[in-house]
Amino acid sequence: MNRLTTIAEFDNIYDVKFSLLKDMLEQAEIPYITTNENARSVELFVVSPSNMSIEIKVYEDKLGEVKKIIDSII
C-alpha cells in the first residue's frame, strides 16, 4: 500500500520555499497534498492554533524524486 509521507512543514503560506516546493512538484508532475493550508491563510481573521503547521505530503514511492527537489531548494 502506497502511503502519504510528510516531506516538509511550514509556518505560513507566504514562505518562499513553500511556494517554490509546490511549483517544483507540479513541474515534475509529482502528486502532492497540503494540510492546514487554508487554516493558516486565514489566521488574521480567525484565531488558529499557533502550533498548527502547513504540511506537504507525497506518496512514499515518489520520495527519491522529491529528495532531489528538496536538496536543490535547500
| pLDDT tens digits for range 15-53 | 899 999 999 999 999 999 999 876 645 555 555 555 678
C-alpha 17/C-alpha 14 separation (Å) is: 9
The reported pLDDT for the residue numbered 18 is: 94
Residue 2, pLDDT > 60, answer yes
| Long-range CB contact pairs, 18-21, < 8 A, 24+ | 18/54, 18/56, 20/73, 21/56, 21/69, 21/70, 21/73
Domain extent at residue 15? 4-73
Question: What's the domain count of the chain?
Answer: 1
The CATH number for 40's domain is 3.30.70
Instruction: Kindly state the average pLDDT of the residues 58-70.
Output: 95
Residue 12: the pLDDT is: 83
Q: What is the pTM of this model?
A: 0.79
